[in-house]
């Protein structure tokens, strides 16, 4: 068994040490089981880690995954996570890994999957309920990991399917959407107090319900002012600490959205104002901002208007609810929001406000009076 500690330089010019060695052969694939470690600040630190690895090999702890009894942590880090990274956007991955590392692994990381019983899962859920407002999301994340283990034949069933979410009395908090009257007040305030570039963006978000990343990726070539529509083909996302323009969240998010006349007029005014930038060659994005800047201005307008605070994403909730109140069909709402299924729209974004309730009562009254 060849063992060698090597020195190398990091991209930042720091000296670090690493080693690699084989722990035998994976009989399922015919490939060597390679163990690699790096990032050690000294050769002595690397040597100690190498000794620990050699001891683990001697204890037969580096058998192929298919022949090993895996803990929750081992399955998550060695099997689940490498594949999951290729399946989701970086923002989704970041939220997921933070939740798993902070709340799930401390409770279940050292539990062998074949010993993960419903009682143990229930105890974990109870603790999440007591300590976190996002306990439902945490339970869902844990279940996603175990579902993958079931699919791969590591265990027979998912014990998280058998737990009960305790009822938790939650304090009422402001909703992340506006009613029609609140939205009108918000936009009237924004028109008076905000620069046109921010007001135009807020009008666009409220009208279309598009994701803020989609709006921030728009170029003037995506806008047809004559027809009064915008084409969604890309999105602004944070990748490895930098904002880049990439594909939309899902294929269904590629869509054309027709705008209200008021929004078309605001965008027309904004386009005329931006002519001064065209001479400088800066004609790529309509809104050359980052999400945090948009959120700051939305908060400022809400405060000035005397309204509760919403996030930029709250305009998506608002738009979907008002589309229901306006009588748009499920198919129209789904296509306008760019969802794969209408169930997603209903489960996440549609809130039944006073306008929708009044419209529903009127429709029922009209039906029964026939």
236 or 65, higher pLDDT: 236
Q: Which two tokens stand for residue 334?
A: 């789904």
pLDDT tens string 14-40: 899 988 887 666 554 556 667 778 888
> Around 270, how many Cα atoms within 13 Å sit in the side-chain half-sphere?
26
Non-local CB neighbours of 72 within 8 Å, separated by 6+ positions: 104, 105, 108, 109, 110, 111, 112, 113, 116, 145
73 or 370, higher pLDDT: 73
The answer to whether the predicted template modeling score (pTM) of the entire model surpasses 0.85 is: no
1 or 19, higher pLDDT: 19
* pLDDT of residue 367 exceeding 50: no
Q: How far apart are CA 63 and CA 45, in angstroms?
A: 25
47 or 12, higher pLDDT: 47
Query: CA angle, 289 as apex, 283 and 290 as ends, to 5°?
Result: 140
Q: What is the mean pLDDT of residues 303-308?
A: 95
Q: Which CATH entry fits the domain spanning 72-162: 3.20.20.190, 3.30.70.3270, 1.10.150.130, 3.40.50.970? A: 1.10.150.130
Q: How far apart are CA 318 and CA 310, in angstroms?
A: 10
Q: What is the mean pLDDT of residues 262-267?
A: 95
Residue 239 burial (10 A CB sphere; 0-12, 13-18, 19+): exposed
* pLDDT of residue 251 exceeding 90: no
Q: How far apart are CA 311 and CA 237, in angstroms?
A: 17
* pLDDT of residue 109 exceeding 50: yes
> Would you state the pLDDT for residue 55?
81
Non-local CB neighbours of 51 within 8 Å, separated by 6+ positions: none
* pLDDT of residue 261 exceeding 90: yes
Are 306 and 173 in contact by the 8 Å Cβ rule? The answer is no
Q: 52: pLDDT confidence band, cut at 50, 70 and 90?
A: confident
Query: CA angle, 167 as apex, 164 and 173 as ends, to 5°?
Result: 135
SS3 content of the chain, % helix, strand, coil (to 5): 55, 15, 30
Q: How far apart are CA 69 and CA 74, in angstroms?
A: 9
What architecture does CATH give domain 180-364?
A: Orthogonal Bundle (1.10)
> Would you state the pLDDT for residue 358?
54
Q: 152: pLDDT confidence band, cut at 50, 70 and 90?
A: confident
> Would you state the pLDDT for residue 86?
83
């Amino acid at each position: 068994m060849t063992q060698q500690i090597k020195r190398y330089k990091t991209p930042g010019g720091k000296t670090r040490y690493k080693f690699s060695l084989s722990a035998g052969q994976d009989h399922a694939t015919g490939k060597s089981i390679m163990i690699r470690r790096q990032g050690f600040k000294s050769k002595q630190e690397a040597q100690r880690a190498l000794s620990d690895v050699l001891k683990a090999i001697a204890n037969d702890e580096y058998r192929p995954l298919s022949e090993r009894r895996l803990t929750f942590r081992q399955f998550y880090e060695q099997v689940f996570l490498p594949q999951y990274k290729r399946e989701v956007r970086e923002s989704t991955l970041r939220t997921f890994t933070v939740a798993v590392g902070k709340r799930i692994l401390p409770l279940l990381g050292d539990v062998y999957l074949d010993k993960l019983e419903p009682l143990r899962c229930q105890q974990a859920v109870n603790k999440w309920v007591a300590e976190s407002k996002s306990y439902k999301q945490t339970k869902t994340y844990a279940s996603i990991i175990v579902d993958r283990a079931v699919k791969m034949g590591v265990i027979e069933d998912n014990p998280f399917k058998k737990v009960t979410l305790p009822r938790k009395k939650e304090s009422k908090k402001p909703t992340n959407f506006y009613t029609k009257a609140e939205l009108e007040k918000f936009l009237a305030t924004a028109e008076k107090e905000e620069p046109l570039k921010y007001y135009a963006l807020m009008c666009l978000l409220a009208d279309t319900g598009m994701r803020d990343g989609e709006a921030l990726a728009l170029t003037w070539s995506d806008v047809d002012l004559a027809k009064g529509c915008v084409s969604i083909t890309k999105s602004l996302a944070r990748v490895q600490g930098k904002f880049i323009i990439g594909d939309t969240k899902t294929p269904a998010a590629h869509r054309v959205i027709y705008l209200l006349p008021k929004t078309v007029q605001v965008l027309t005014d904004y386009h005329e104002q931006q002519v001064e930038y065209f001479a400088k060659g800066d004609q790529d994005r309509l809104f050359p901002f980052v999400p945090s800047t948009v959120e700051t201005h939305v908060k400022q307008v809400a405060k000035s208007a005397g309204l509760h605070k919403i996030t930029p994403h709250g305009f998506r909730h608002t738009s979907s609810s008002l589309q229901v109140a306006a009588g748009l069909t499920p198919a129209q709402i789904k296509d306008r929001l760019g969802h794969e299924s209408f169930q997603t729209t209903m489960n996440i974004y549609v809130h039944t406000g006073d306008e929708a309730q009044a419209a529903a009562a009127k429709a029922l009254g009209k039906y029964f009076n026939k």
